[in-house]
Structure 1
Amino acid sequence: MTVLAAAIALIGSLFFALGAALQQFEALGSGKTRLRTLVRRPRWVIGGASIVAGGGLHIVALGLGPLTIVQPMGVASLLFALPLAAALHGRRPSRAELGSAAVVAVGLIGLVLLVPPSTGPSHLSLQEVAILLAVSGVAAVLLWAGSRIASPAGRAALLATSAGVLYGATATLMRVLADTFGEQGWNWWYLLALPVPALLALMLLQRAYAVGHFGVSFASLQIADPLTAVAFGALLLGEPLPTGVAPIAAAALTAVGTVALARTTPLERSA
């Protein structure tokens, strides 16, 4: 079952990577990154369906195998996404680009595996939901504001990080919703709050993709999303944070790899 879980998670990562590459290709070529423009593009919609399929396969894999096996397979999407995106743009990824992505993946795997497992069901009051939305919203706005004065690579990283923060908030709400469903049914406050950060994150991510540095934006998203979820878990749910030197070393690897990606990934032009 563990081997099956790893295989399913790996296939899910491939679907997720393919979806991200397709959406970036369309966001870059559309000229406008408004969702109402992008949803009319069949390839962008197919990319979204591929991402949903990848997420579903990841959930199935988590039900079949241990987190320590499934999560590293999920991080592999970064290594799949770069060659797929490069192929769509008619080029081959360089060794330096793939090497930088591998450094990010190793650091991110370390961070994911070092986070202590959550214990027990999660609950958020209406006030705590408001805090989650406010904190993630302010962080996203500040990152978006910084992107307006940054270099192209910096802009892609900041916009994708902003999207990752909002996706992390969405993941926290979804987790709490799933934990409380069996006890008290659907919590309508959670359901009403859920689309807000998810839609804003989707819009910001398309803007990041439209910049042209796909490797930087995708890596930044892969880092910001889980780390934000971990931070909210500690802030609002009282979950423990990793301690010691190992998390610092893993974080340093992800930072070094992302900077290297910014230097090695070419600025792609509109398709």
Structure 2
Amino acid sequence: MSVAAVGLALLGSLFFALGAALQQSETGPDRVALRHLARRPRWLLGGLAVGAGTALHVLALRYGPLTLVQPLGAASLLFALPCAAALRHRRPRPRELAAAAAVAAGLTGLVLTVPEHTGDPRLGPWGAVALLAGAATVALGLLAVSRRVSPTARAGLLAMAAGVLYGATATLTRVLVDGAWEPWLLLAAPLPALAALGLLQRAYACGHFGVAFASLQVADPLTAVVFGAVLLGEPLPTGATATLTALAAALLAACGTVALARTGPPPAVHVPQVR
């Protein structure tokens, strides 16, 4: 069962990474509107790959515990950079891979320090309103700041905003998969995901795929952990050892993201525009 969970989780990470790289290859300063991107076959193929990766990750959770499956999701960053490099007909740079490995190791450490929650998560209407309002406020703040910074920082901030909204989506989804099929919850869940998709395409358009994808991978799980603790009553790391480990893992992930930012964007590749 554990072998199946590991295999499914790694395959899901590969599909997710491939989908992100395909979608990033279709974005640009004048190609960020979803209505335009949805006409491009490669972008749509990337969306299908992301969907397949998500489905495989959910299936992996049927065969293995969260503490085994969730850390393997960090492997998507290690897969994403080679996929993006291959689409641009170049080799991934060693510094990129080293920085990505640092982010993946940090994310894995963070996930492993979070205790497993055995109770059934419950979220009332007012809790959902607080979740959506909190995520939207943070995302809008990051969006506002992104307009005043360099392209590299803009890519990271926009992807972080998307990660916050995806983290909110993951929190709502966790409640749904445990049987809370209230109509209002089904209607609320897609809202932050759609907003996150648009922000993520803007992040990709900045030309710093490694920074954007790493920022997304950091912000998404951290947001889900915070919302899970505050709104669903899920446990956080306790004790000196777990707390220090979580802080060290967070620092490692942050340093890896900064290192990715310093590698610079990949060589530009001309992509024909949609007329």
Taking structure 1 as the reference length, what is the TM-score of the superposition?
A: 0.95
Aligned residue runs from structure 1 range 83-232, under 5 A: 83-181=82-180, 186-232=181-227
Q: Is the 8 A contact 1:215 1:265 kept in 2?
A: no
Paired with 2:71 and 2:183, the residues of 1 have a C-alpha distance of: 33
Q: How far did 1:67 drift?
A: 2.6
Q: Is the 8 A contact 1:216 1:265 kept in 2?
A: no
Q: Is the 8 A contact 1:101 1:219 kept in 2?
A: yes
**RMSD of equivalent CA atoms:** 1.3
Q: How far did 1:53 drift?
A: 0.5
* Cα deviation code 1:83-139 (max 9, x no counterpart): 110111122111111000000000000001111112311111111111101000000
Paired with 1:261 and 1:229, the residues of 2 have a C-alpha distance of: 24
Structure 1 residues 50 and 14, CA gap change in structure 2 (3 angstroms): same
Paired with 1:36 and 1:201, the residues of 2 have a C-alpha distance of: 15
Q: Is the 8 A contact 1:166 1:197 kept in 2?
A: yes
Q: How far did 1:268 drift?
A: 4.8
What fraction of aligned residue pairs are identical, expressed as a percent? 62
Q: Comparing both structures, which one devotes a greater share of its residues to helix?
A: 1
Paired with 1:267 and 1:80, the residues of 2 have a C-alpha distance of: 16
Q: Is the 8 A contact 1:136 1:166 kept in 2?
A: yes
Number of matched pairs: 266
Paired with 1:180 and 1:253, the residues of 2 have a C-alpha distance of: 36
Match of 2:21 in 1: 21
Q: Which ranges of structure 2 fall in alignment gaps of 5 or more residues? A: none
* Cα deviation code 1:7-40 (max 9, x no counterpart): 1111111111000000000113x72201000000
Paired with 1:234 and 1:258, the residues of 2 have a C-alpha distance of: 25
Q: Which ranges of structure 1 fall in alignment gaps of 5 or more residues? A: none
Aligned residue runs from structure 1 range 249-268, under 5 A: 249-268=248-267
Q: Which amino acid aligns with 1:217?
A: A
Query: Pick from 230, 233, 248: which aligns with 2:228?
Result: 233
Q: How far did 1:191 drift?
A: 1.2
